Amino acid sequence: MINISHLMSKQTIIALLITCLSLPQLSAQDQGQQKPVNPSELYDLPPTKKGDLLCRCVSTFLPKKNETFYFKMDDTYHEVALAGEGISIQFPVRGSTTFTLYSKSISEEDEIVYSPIVEQALKGSGENYLIILSRPPKKTSLQAKTYNINTNNYPANSIYLFNETPATLGLQVNKTRAVVKPFKAYTHSYQNAGRNTYTSAKIVMNYQGEGKIMSSKRLRLIPGRRIIMICFPSKTRTKMGSTPLGVVTLQDKP
């Protein structure tokens, strides 16, 4: 006669062994899958304080899938996301004159290691800086250009065009026309009669053998406003079958 209780006991033991043996494999699978980075789910950086150097970042590249960067404030590393081909959050640099973004890795001793992926010195007086980030093809490190955008260097009532492309661009604002050489900047000062006025800034480039309007931005010229336009090769627009020039506009009242 078969002892049913004894048989069930053996089946239970076998099931438990199979479960225990499969746990390490499931854990390894979970560790190998990274959760996509959602900027809206990240914690905000600590509020700014007097004396902080304020940096606005413009990313002229598309971050890799699930790529995360880290920014250090008050000895704490904060997870941040860069806006692909756009303007990122404002970074307050505290207790230093260098803007740094880090990547995170695990050492052979299973310790967390933060390594600088881009470092840029913040020079000159004032507290406002514009940092244009780019990534060379097949590279993990970033390249950066820093502009001290205090009011002495970049006063209000002006339009500033930064040409971050290897092509010559044409800029037309109202009846004013200018040629902006590759990787150079151009300043267009405007005047108004103390009231809001509107205009359009057209950016032209020689594309497929003819001069084409790459972008047309409608601008609201408020007294005291400063308009900064950054032009760069756009992978997003190229994939959409559009003209391959991306333009990011930053407007403020310094």
Residue 84's CB is within 10 A of a number of other CB atoms, namely 15
- 203-238 pLDDT, tens per residue? 999 988 888 999 998 888 888 889 999 999 999 998
Q: Look at residue 138 in the predicted model and tell me its pLDDT.
A: 79
Tokens 């032009």 belong to 231
CA proximity to 192, closest of 225, 223, 163 = 223
CA proximity to 248, closest of 147, 186, 172, 164 = 164
Q: Look at residue 65 in the predicted model and tell me its pLDDT.
A: 82
- For the chain, the structural domain boundaries read 37-153, 154-254
- 158-191 pLDDT, tens per residue? 999 999 999 999 999 988 899 999 999 999 988 7
- CA geometry: angle 111, 116, 121, nearest 5 deg: 150
The token pair at 241 is 């079958």
- 108-132 pLDDT, tens per residue? 999 999 999 999 999 999 999 999 9
Q: Cβ distance 165 to 245 under 8 Å?
A: yes
Distance, in Å, from the CA atom of 141 to the CA atom of 134, rounded to the nearest integer, reads 9
Domain covering 154-254 assigned CATH 2.40.30 in the classification: no
**Is-above-0.85 flag for pTM?**
no
Q: Cβ distance 162 to 175 under 8 Å?
A: no
Q: Is the pLDDT of residue 5 over 90?
A: no
Domain covering 37-153 assigned CATH 2.60.40 in the classification: yes
Percent pLDDT > 90 in the chain is: 54
The token pair at 122 is 């913040």
Split at pLDDT 50, 70, 90, the class of 43 is: low
